[in-house]
Amino acid sequence: MRMRDTFIKPMHPEGRRFVAIFAIVTVGLFLISGFLGWIGVGLTVWCYYFFRDPERVTPPRPGVVVSPADGIVSLIEPAVPPAELGMPDVALTRVSVFMSVFNCHVNRVPVTGEIADIAYRPGKFFNASLDKASVDNERNSLRIRMTDGCDLAVVQIAGLVARRIVCFVKEGDSLATGERFGLIRFGSRLDVYLPDGVEPIVALGQTMIAGESVIAELTQPTEG
């Protein structure tokens, strides 16, 4: 890996127009004041950094559930998946990953499987770190059918600043663990509802890397 690649990451196409807008505004700010112009430069760099889309290396072993987002594990608790997905009305273990405005916001599928259902629901824009955000906020939910027939749900949740949920996939698509499936602009949260009986192996406050950090093992190791 070249040293340059450590600091300069590719940008997702979703960010091009935003960076262009920030750059144009920055030029205008320089015409007013050099001080304001340099503030604009900093904001333009931040915008580019927000939409960065680095390559990730998914763990090669089978049966892992990886984090769908960069961020911090903010909640681990039993909860019923969103009703619009049509899953059984049974509480599953929900692991929430909160993304700040400084995290990479490209989302990745936690497991290999087929997108069985996608359901968007408009809502409010509470702080995404709050528990009620899972119920009240705007969200986009995906139900992923794994090869063993079990379902896993992953939910994109808008936050206090986030106002645009983007989903790149459609029902019927087959994706491998760690593939990109969406993006949320400017701070938000991802919820993962683990299959019944699967326990998380992460802790509250743990830092997650999308597509790399393992949330749970679908196949529990046997003692011997």
Catalytic positions, written as ranges: 188
Contacts of 223 (CB under 8 A, 6+ apart): none
For residues 134 and 165, the answer to whether their CB atoms sit within 8 Å is no
For residues 110 and 68, the answer to whether their CB atoms sit within 8 Å is yes
Cβ burial, residue 10 (10 Å; 0-12/13-18/19+):
exposed
CA dihedral 185, 100, 189, 174 (to 10 degrees): 60
Structure tokens belonging to residue 203: 């802790």
3-state secondary structure of 76: strand
Distances (CA, A) of 10 to 31, 106, 177: 30, 12, 21
Q: How many helices (H) and strands (E) does the chain have?
A: 4, 13
